[in-house]
């Protein structure tokens, strides 16, 4: 069966001297692994359509039950050139596509997850380099919704009551921010400002998210809370290589 679908390149690796394997997250097929024969040749017909973070229109020869499908065409729709212009943007673009690869389940299309991936890369292009992590957080909260475990930030995930500036905690098990009455052992305490930031992030589109900012104390809580939430709800709990690399680079420059 010949299928045409838009997709975003998550990763590629060598197949042979002249060919490569690409992992695409697509609108029609979900995550699909394709063989692109001749893609490593200087004058390949695929051109730059298989570069990481690229969104393209692809033609796939698809056969049910086959682990690797065959790619016959690839045309660039959007190159997301801006995400490659700075180390921090590149790192967080890598984290976004790597997390997509972790959470996407085989060839199961998920239009909301695909849109979250698109919008996160769009958001990343519009952010100052020192706030590029916001795009990664944007992806985490919107991907969670796409996968059916949307965290609650506007009211208590335990009892459903609105927050009244009392002590607020965060519980991945209960599904988000929780009030003082629903507090549980091991839950992470959050500032009211952190919960408000997370709620705005969750309610934003890519353009609005690019305008969000907060002090480092709030950003640190956001970072830890979302990491806890994703790890709790994700079967593949391997640390993201891109963020680990960033930590190593930061450690050597201190």
In this prediction, residue 239 carries a pLDDT of: 66
In this prediction, residue 246 carries a pLDDT of: 53
Provide the phi-psi class of 175: left if phi over 0, else alpha when psi is between -120 and 50, else beta. Answer: left
Query: What is the spatial distance between Cα 185 and Cα 190, in angstroms, rounded to a whole number?
Result: 14
- H-run or E-run covering 189: strand 188-190
In this prediction, residue 237 carries a pLDDT of: 63
Instruction: Kindly report the CATH number that applies to the domain delimited by 2-79.
Output: 2.40.50.140
CB atoms within 10 A of CB 215: 10
Tokens 């959470």 correspond to what residue? 103
Could you say which architecture CATH assigns to the domain 85-253? Up-down Bundle (1.20)
Give the pair of three-digit tokens for residue 83.
């995400």
Per residue in 77-128, pLDDT (tens digit) is 999 988 988 889 999 999 999 999 999 988 899 999 999 999 999 999 989 8
Check pLDDT > 50 for residue 251. Answer: no
Work out the pLDDT band at 252, boundaries 50, 70, 90.
Answer: low
pLDDT, mean over the chain: 89
Check pLDDT > 90 for residue 253. Answer: no
Check pLDDT > 70 for residue 165. Answer: no
In this prediction, residue 190 carries a pLDDT of: 94
Q: Are the beta carbons of 195 and 153 closer than 8 angstroms? A: yes
Strands (E), 79-192: 168-171, 176-178, 188-190
Q: Are the beta carbons of 190 and 178 closer than 8 angstroms? A: no
In this prediction, residue 129 carries a pLDDT of: 85
Q: Return the domain boundaries, the chain.
A: 2-79, 85-253
Query: What is the spatial distance between Cα 162 and Cα 151, in angstroms, rounded to a whole number?
Result: 15
Q: Check for a shared fold between 2-79 and 85-253.
A: no
Check pLDDT > 60 for residue 245. Answer: no
Work out the pLDDT band at 155, boundaries 50, 70, 90.
Answer: very high
Per residue in 4-39, pLDDT (tens digit) is 999 999 999 999 989 999 999 999 899 999 999 999
pTM of the model: 0.91
In this prediction, residue 82 carries a pLDDT of: 87
> Where is average pLDDT lowest: 102-111, 164-173, 194-203, 235-244?
235-244
CB atoms within 10 A of CB 194: 24
In this prediction, residue 143 carries a pLDDT of: 94
In this prediction, residue 163 carries a pLDDT of: 86
Work out the pLDDT band at 247, boundaries 50, 70, 90.
Answer: low
């Amino acid at each position: 069966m010949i299928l045409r679908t838009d997709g975003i390149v998550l990763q590629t690796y060598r197949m042979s001297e002249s060919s490569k394997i690409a992992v695409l997250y697509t609108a029609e097929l979900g995550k699909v692994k394709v063989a692109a024969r001749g893609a490593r040749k200087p004058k390949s017909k695929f051109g730059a359509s298989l570069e990481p973070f690229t969104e393209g229109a692809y033609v796939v020869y698809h056969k049910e039950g086959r682990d690797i499908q065959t790619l016959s065409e690839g045309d660039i729709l959007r190159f997301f050139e801006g995400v490659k212009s700075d180390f921090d943007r590149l790192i967080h673009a890598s984290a976004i596509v790597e997390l997509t690869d972790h959470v996407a389940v085989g060839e199961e299309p998920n239009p909301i997850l695909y849109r979250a991936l698109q919008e996160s890369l769009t958001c990343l292009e519009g952010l100052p380099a020192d706030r590029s992590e916001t795009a990664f957080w944007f992806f985490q909260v919107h991907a969670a919704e796409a996968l059916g475990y949307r965290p609650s930030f506007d009211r208590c995930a335990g009892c459903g009551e609105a927050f009244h500036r009392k002590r607020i905690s965060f519980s991945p098990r209960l599904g988000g921010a929780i009030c003082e009455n629903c507090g549980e052992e091991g839950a992470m305490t959050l500032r009211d400002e952190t919960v408000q930031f997370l709620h705005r992030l969750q309610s934003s589109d890519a353009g609005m998210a690019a305008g969000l900012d907060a002090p480092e104390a709030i950003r640190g809580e956001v970072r830890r809370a979302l990491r806890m939430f994703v790890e709790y709800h994700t079967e593949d709990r391997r640390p993201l290589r891109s963020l680990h690399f960033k930590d190593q680079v930061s450690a050597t420059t201190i």
